[in-house]
Amino acid sequence: MTDDINNLEEMDEAYDIIVLNDDEGNEHEFMHLETLEVDGNTYYVLLPVEEAEQEDEDAEAIILKLSKDENGEEILIDIEDDEEWEKVADAWEEMDDLEDEDEE
């Protein structure tokens, strides 16, 4: 159990924690795994802290696009366009594969 706690603490220290609010105003914590630049746009790769705490091997990261609201404030939005989604997902996969190769 102590090892699990230490691993989670190490993960928290290695990644920034971002708190996002859903449509109902509920807060959700995410680990900011990576920032991607694709076609002049910025995307955040996030992993729900709750899933990381459960050490769920099937935990899926989400990718959100950095945008600005009507007041010029930065916000994270869903990627609506399928083609854009594919490009960003491919870029994340390539980056993840390169990191895996570096670890070997």
Q: Side by side, which strands form the sheet with 62-68?
A: 16-21, 27-38, 41-48, 62-68, 74-77
C-alpha distances (whole Å) from 2 to each of 6, 7, 33 are: 6, 9, 24
Rounded to an integer, the average pLDDT of 49-57 is 74
State the pLDDT at residue 104: 54
Q: What is the pLDDT of residues 70-102, one digit of tens each?
A: 999 999 999 999 999 999 999 998 887 666 555
CA distance 64 to 79: 6
CA distance 51 to 58: 9
